[in-house]
Chain A
Amino acid sequence: MRGNRFTYYVREGIGSIFNHGFMSFASVCIIVACLIIMGSFTLLALNVDNIINTMESQNELMAFVDESLSQEEARALQGAVEAVPNVSKVYFVTREAAWNSFVSTYQNPGMFAGLDATTVRDRFVVYIDDISLMAQTQENLSHVAGIAAVNAQLEISAGFVRIRNIVTVASVALVLVLFVISLFIMSNTIKLTTFERRDEIAIMKMVGATSSFIRWPFVVQGLILGLLGALVSFTLEWGLYELLTEKLISGAGISFLTMIPFYNVAVPLLAAFTVVGLGVGVIGSTLAIKNYLKV
């Protein structure tokens, strides 16, 4: 591309933005709105995933050892328990430790007078990698020789998995819908520009301008509007996220939720916004100008 052509494309693209200031402003606003909604749902999905991962790591199964085994024999089962697929960590808890822990959760230990640690069993606390495989892991653990019973909170794990699936599907669907909406709006904005300049485009065709020469200023216009929309929405998203995490979550005392710090997602989010913004700009402008280049 020759230098003066490049200058021409950029000058015409920028000129068109200012010549159609209101429509340019409107299309940037629409891109910003769509990107913020897209970004918010993406961040929501990431945070839900993060929270579920945290909860997954804390979700445990309890494998109770057969009472007929001595404590040494019970300890010796650890290797077999660890070998079960999906098991990440295993801790052996003696019946004495389990009993003391149980009693300490009540304010009146006297109510357990006459009972001792033999009331409960030695057990393994088992952590797993994938919460969605909890039922299968429970089944596998129950087949380990010496394990009498396995407790698992299957309803909770199923709930986590369901929430994650719903949020992921909803986010992906919303992102796609908003992308199409943004594309439509951008395309129509540039269509208005091309409609106003249809005589100019006809003259360009008449004197022998190539289709790419006619298209480029509109693509540059779309690129600039898309990029501007991406940068504005990233900045607003940043502010909104910080406001939400600091003021709402902390202020409302919802302390058990650990939100992902914005700086952890800033670069990928900026990259995604830029790609979507530029994509919307380029595809939208290409679609808008297509009909005028057919002659």
Chain B
Amino acid sequence: MVQFTDVFKSYENGTKALRGVSFTIHDGEFAFLVGPSGSGKTTIIKLLTGEIAPTDGKVLVNDYDLTNIRFGKMPYMRRTLGVVFQDFRLIEDKTVYENVAFAMRVIGASNKEIRRRVPYVLELVGLDTRTRRRPQELSGGEQQRVAIARALVNNPRLIIADEPTGNLDPARSLEIMLLLQKINELGTTVLVVTHEKELVDSFSKRVIAIDGGKIISDGMDGYYTYER
């Protein structure tokens, strides 16, 4: 579960990125976070992943209170998250299998667990025939599938996808969104940050819209209530 309660965030240069943001995403939900550039979307993601701390207010992620979390606890909070980026962020000199296995290995999973879990996740994202390829040998859509597999492999409670279709054509974008929906249907909470109107509107999901550091709408009405 994600809970923002009256969250403010100001940066050292004086920018007020968030001005009293409150919302809750319950376990098992699928939500879009939408808004124009500079609206505060990236700040929300950074707060969720613990890269920055709020200036005021309370951020709760999967039972971890990020307002007061100890530095040593942060890795364990991050293990409850899976993060997918627009630019994939794969390790170029590792194969598809190794990229996914790497995420398990660095949290201390045994080789036996890795051998059991990685093929399952790669099959789930439709890459079971591409395991020995390196990222540069794959299309953009396939690379994003690897990134989703890596985010999924440690069985997180929440997947945060930051502009996951930003580098993909419409057909591949739809495939990725359908994959995220499938993952959500398997029980994982999914938060997709995007500004792609058609994509959001083709799914009847909750849309949280932010602008100027404030939540301007939150509902099932499709893309961009703020575009009125």
Residues 185-226 of chain A, each 1 if its beta carbon lies under 8 Å from chain B, else 0: 000000000000001101111111111011000000000000
A205 and B108 contact, Cβ closer than 8 Å, known pairs A199-B89, A200-B91, A295-B51: no
Q: A2-B108, A208-B154 are in contact. Are A203 and B102 (CB under 8 A)?
A: yes
Question: Which residue of chain A has its CB nearest to the CB of B80?
Answer: A208
B: interface residue count bin: 20 to 34
A247 at the interface (CB under 8 A from B): no
| Pairwise interchain contact B107-A207, C-beta atoms closer than 8 A | yes
Chain A residues with Cβ under 8 A from B150's Cβ?
207
User: Which of A199, A205, A207 is packed against the most chain B CB atoms within 10 Å?
Assistant: A207
B105 interfacial by beta-carbon distance below 8 Å: yes
For residues 61 through 81 of chain B, which have their beta carbon under 8 Å from a beta carbon of chain A? 72, 75-79, 81
Q: A-B contact count, CB below 8 Å?
A: 48
> Is B78 a contact partner of A205 (Cβ separation < 8 A)?
yes
B110 sits at the interface (CB 8 A)? yes
What residues on A are CB-neighbors of B103 within 8 Å?
A: 203, 207
A206–B83 touching, CB < 8 Å: yes
Main secondary structure of the interface of A (DSSP, over half): helix
A5 on interface, CB distance cutoff 8 Å: yes
Whether B108 pairs with A213 at a CB distance below 8 angstroms is yes
B78 x A206 contact (CB < 8 A): yes
> Contacts A5-B108, A8-B105 given: A207-B91 contact, CB under 8 Å?
no
**Does B49 have its Cβ within 8 Å of any Cβ on chain A?**
yes
| A202 in contact with B75 (CB, 8 Å) | no
> Which partner residue on chain A sits nearest B111 by CB separation?
A4
Asked whether B106 is an interface residue with its Cβ less than 8 Å from the other chain, the reply is yes
Cα of A210 to Cα of B110 in the assembled complex, Å? 16
Whether A206 contacts B49 in the complex (CB less than 8 A), given A199-B89, A199-B91, A200-B91, comes out as yes
Q: Are B78 and A203 in contact (CB under 8 A)?
A: no
Give the docked Cα–Cα distance between A2 and B110 (Å): 9
Contacts of A211 in B (CB 8 A): 75
CB contacts (< 8 Å) of B106 on chain A: these are 204, 207-209, 213-214
Residues of B within 8 A of A5 (CB): 108
Smallest Cβ distance from B14 to chain A, in angstroms?
A: 22
Query: By CB atoms of chain A within 10 A, which of B49, B51, B108 has the most?
Result: B108
CB-CB under 8 A from A203, the residues of chain B are 89, 91, 102-103
CB-CB under 8 A from B51, the residues of chain A are 295
- Asked whether A208 lies within 8 Å of B111 as measured between CB atoms, the reply is no
Nearest-Cβ distance from residue B155 to partner chain A, whole angstroms: 12
Residues of A within 8 A of B154 (CB): 207-208
**Can you report 26 residue pairs joining A to B where beta carbons are below 8 Å apart?**
A2-B108, A2-B110, A4-B110, A4-B111, A8-B105, A199-B89, A202-B89, A203-B89, A203-B91, A204-B106, A205-B75, A206-B49, A206-B78, A206-B83, A207-B78, A207-B103, A208-B77, A208-B78, A208-B79, A209-B75, A209-B106, A209-B107, A210-B72, A210-B75, A213-B108, A295-B51
Q: Which 4 A-B pairs have the closest CB atoms?
A: A208-B79, A208-B78, A209-B106, A207-B103
